Structure 1
């Protein structure tokens, strides 16, 4: 009999496991995949750490979370500075003075602000959708070239049908600063993310290639408490209906060149290019290997059986999630958490913070 059964060997579940083991609890971790790490899983190809499920750059302004993750790995000084390719035109991201200078042939913040102010003047009142929100932030030119096509590929629907909140935190700077994030701390773990998860799970029993939902009663009987990090709607057999997600498909290949695109992340912002971006993995760790590995990312609609990546947090889906949350609250000894368990888009630092909060709750004195 284990004290804890954790469903999902990703970051959220690994943090819970680590905190439980530190306190002398016995832990069983179950995952349907053939590897630990969830979506932050990395593995070596040609000496390069490949992010199998898309680029993950750790960033946070919370020093306690930065110190926590650094207790499992040393991080390099990588700074996320993606670029955008629009029909062969190259622009810096986030939107900054380099972007505006290339777009309009200007060089001062006042010139850029004047153009944006003029272009966004037609948006009055509170933006009602993503298109209006984007134009109110950066004007028509930037929206048309660098936001519209990319966003519609990513979400599979028109920008006028998407909620405004998706890009409310879009970085816009009137400086020549190409750092995408505003956070104080940022980097990539030396040796990849999988090594972090391995250290977190040290002392736990791990069962991979295991379909928990297919053997739920049997597996639940092995532990006093369960932490479930999978899809909350799947846990209940989709009895209230399916929550919507966006999925991602990757095409990864090894190229016989030492430098394919000169940057870790290149977004393709036109609607005609079928993929959303190309990741060149070696640049995350300043690699000098003779070959390189690239991944093309294709956004896709989700159907049952696919990997769910991004929850579609519109009004309809949030209302459905709330009904599932009420069901979850009635299940004894089971705690739901993480991106899929809580139907939220989580950055890695927020994932850790949320997991630590749940660990504190279930590990409190007298819980066992």
Structure 2
């Protein structure tokens, strides 16, 4: 008999399993995929650590989270400075004075503010949708070149049909600074993410390619408690219907060049390019390999047969999630956590924080 059955080897499940095993508790960890690490998984291709499920850049403003992660790896000094490609025109991201200078041939923050303010006046009254909300915040030029096409590809819907709440705020900097994040702690684990999970799970028994939901009868009584990090609605057999997500498909390519795009991430912001971005993985670790590996990222409508990525946290889905949450509260010794278990859009530091808070409550750790 195990103390805990942990379903899923992403950040939430792996951190909890690590903390439990530190206390001498026995954990059996199940993973549906053929590898550990969830969407953070990296694998070596042409001696390059490839982020198989999209770019994962660790960043946080919480010093404690930064220190916690450093026990598993050393971070390099990578800073995320992506660029936008709009029909061949190249601009810096996030929206800052480098972007505005090229867009409008201006120099001063005062000029940029005036243009954005003037263009925002196009929208009178309360914005009715994402398009109006965005134009009011950043003006039509920024909306048309950088937000409209990218967002419509990402969500599979016209911006006029999307709620304003999807983009609650848009970071606009009136300084010449291409650092995408404001967090003081930022970097990529030297040697990739997979080694982190290997360290977290080294004292646990891990079974790969095991779908807990398909083999529930076999595993649910093997432990005193269950930590479930899959989709909460699937655990309850979609009793009230399926929660909605957006999904992704990745095309990975090995190219016979040592430098394809000169930057880790390029966002393709026009509507015509079918993918939202390309990732050149070697730039995360300042690689000098002879070849390179790129990944094209294609947004997809989600169905139950493919991987869920982004929860669609609109009112309809939140109401549905609340119903499942009530069922979860009635479960004896089953706990739901992580991005899918909590139906939240989590960055990595959010998952770490949630896992540590739960571990503290469940295990009494300091």
**Alignment TM-score > 0.5, same fold:** yes
Equivalent in the alignment of 1:353: 353
Could you say what secondary structure the match of 1:214 adopts? coil
Equivalent in the alignment of 1:304: 304
Distance in 2, matches of 1:249 and 1:286, equals 26
CA drift at 1:132? 2.2
Equivalent in the alignment of 1:148: 148
CA drift at 1:164? 2.1
Is residue 2:297 matched to residue 1:288?
no
Distance in 1, matches of 2:318 and 2:158, equals 20
CA drift at 1:125? 4.3
Could you say what secondary structure the match of 1:266 adopts? strand
Equivalent in the alignment of 2:255: 255
Is residue 2:34 matched to residue 1:9?
no
TM-score w.r.t. the length of structure 1 is 0.97
1:186-210 Cα deviation digits (max 9, x unpaired)? 0000010000011111100000000
Distance in 2, matches of 1:348 and 1:166, equals 20
Mapping of 1:106-145 within 5 angstroms?
106-145=106-145
Distance in 1, matches of 2:298 and 2:155, equals 11
Equivalent in the alignment of 1:208: 208
The structure 1 segments of at least 4 consecutive aligned residues displaced by more than 3 Å after TM superposition are: 124-128
Kept in 2, the 8 Å contact 1:257–1:292? The answer is yes
CA drift at 1:126? 4.2
Equivalent in the alignment of 2:24: 24
Is residue 2:363 matched to residue 1:363?
yes
Structure 1 unaligned spans of 5+: none
Distance in 1, matches of 2:352 and 2:125, equals 37
Equivalent in the alignment of 1:171: 171
Could you say what secondary structure the match of 2:113 adopts? helix
Distance in 2, matches of 1:195 and 1:55, equals 17
CA drift at 1:360? 1.4
CA drift at 1:215? 1.4
Equivalent in the alignment of 1:242: 242
1:212-269 Cα deviation digits (max 9, x unpaired)? 0011132010000100000111111111101111000001010000000011000000
CA gap of 1:125–1:70, structure 2 versus 1, over 3 A, is farther
Structure 2 unaligned spans of 5+: none
Distance in 2, matches of 1:222 and 1:180, equals 45
Mapping of 1:27-106 within 5 angstroms?
27-106=27-106
1:18-65 Cα deviation digits (max 9, x unpaired)? 110111111110011000000000000001000000000001100000
Distance in 1, matches of 2:219 and 2:74, equals 36
